[in-house]
Amino acid sequence: MHPIDPNVMNANLPENERRAYLTFAVALTQISRATIAQFRAQGFKTELKPDASFVTEVDLAVERALRAAISQRYPSHGIRGEELAASNDDSEFQWILDPIDGTDNFAHGIPTFGTIIALHYGGEPLVGVLDHPDLQRTYSAARGLGAFCNERKISVVDHADAGGAPIVAVTAPANFMKTNDLVCLTAIQCAFPNTRTYRDCFAHSLALDGSVRAVVDVNLNLWDIAATRVLVEEAGGRFETVRTLAHEGKIFYSVVFGAPDIVAQLLPIVELSPA
């Protein structure tokens, strides 16, 4: 069991309450999966947003369906999502949603995309869920209750003794290039040549049971990363935000997380442009 920091407000919530939020968050994946399946069966439109990222009708429909379910169950809670305006912005409870993380992959039929569902309480992550419908894998955690892949309890060292050069996942060059950090990517690749690039939250999921030992992901939005910290920490890993950049009213996060020993090796290599 992960130790609870009594200085963090999460710790004030009794276990049965934390467990109830976790159970509800995991149950929400039934709604997102059903919505995704329905749109795939009927076909859907895709368009590029002004920031050159993708959005499909499916993203919007999934976010609407999740918001409706959350609002019905917890009408006073805040909800922030990738696609629609925030509600109840002053609530201590904030649900943060990325209906389809990796829409580019999703639109191209690459099965690693995921739905991200997070609940923060008092500004701290309390519950995190990464759901991969095509892979039949739901990763979930709540503060103090451990991390799971489906029913299996997981740890960042689960595959540590599989051997070989450590596998590190990095995001696509495009994300590094947004801030002219391609040299940083090259430095990571030289130090850890056994890299993978999934460019969606599947990299985050794989770090939770040590399938990849660590992840370097840069220039992310809040909803990309909102579920990951509690998942990583409940799986016994280390999570570091190495840069936050404010740009045009939004904040972009760059993070390194995974097995503590590999994160410690990566941190001095991940030299990003100054904020």
Interface with a second copy (CB under 8 A): 46-48, 52, 54, 104, 107-111, 134-135, 158-159, 162-165, 167, 172-174, 177, 182, 185-186, 189-190, 193-199, 206, 209-212
Closest distance to a second copy from the beta carbon of 118 (Å):
24
Spatial strand order of the sheet with 78-81 comes to 78-81, 93-101, 114-121, 124-132, 137-142, 147-149, 152-154
Closest distance to a second copy from the beta carbon of 104 (Å):
6
Closest distance to a second copy from the beta carbon of 177 (Å):
5
The torsion angle over the Cα atoms of residues 249, 246, 123 and 146, rounded to 10 degrees, is 120
Give whichever of 173 and 260 is closer to a second copy, judged by the CB atom.
173
Give whichever of 62 and 79 is closer to a second copy, judged by the CB atom.
62
Cα gap 119→151, rounded to integer Å: 20
Closest distance to a second copy from the beta carbon of 21 (Å):
28
- Give CA separation, 210 vs 104, 167, 194, 197, in Å: 25, 9, 14, 16
Give whichever of 66 and 259 is closer to a second copy, judged by the CB atom.
259
- The set of residues, in sequence order, having a beta carbon less than 8 Å from that of 243 and lying 6+ positions away, is 218, 253, 254, 272, 275
Closest distance to a second copy from the beta carbon of 123 (Å):
33
Give whichever of 31 and 157 is closer to a second copy, judged by the CB atom.
157
Q: Which of 163, 166, 256 is nearest to 216 (CA)?
A: 256
Residue type, 36: I
Give whichever of 3 and 164 is closer to a second copy, judged by the CB atom.
164
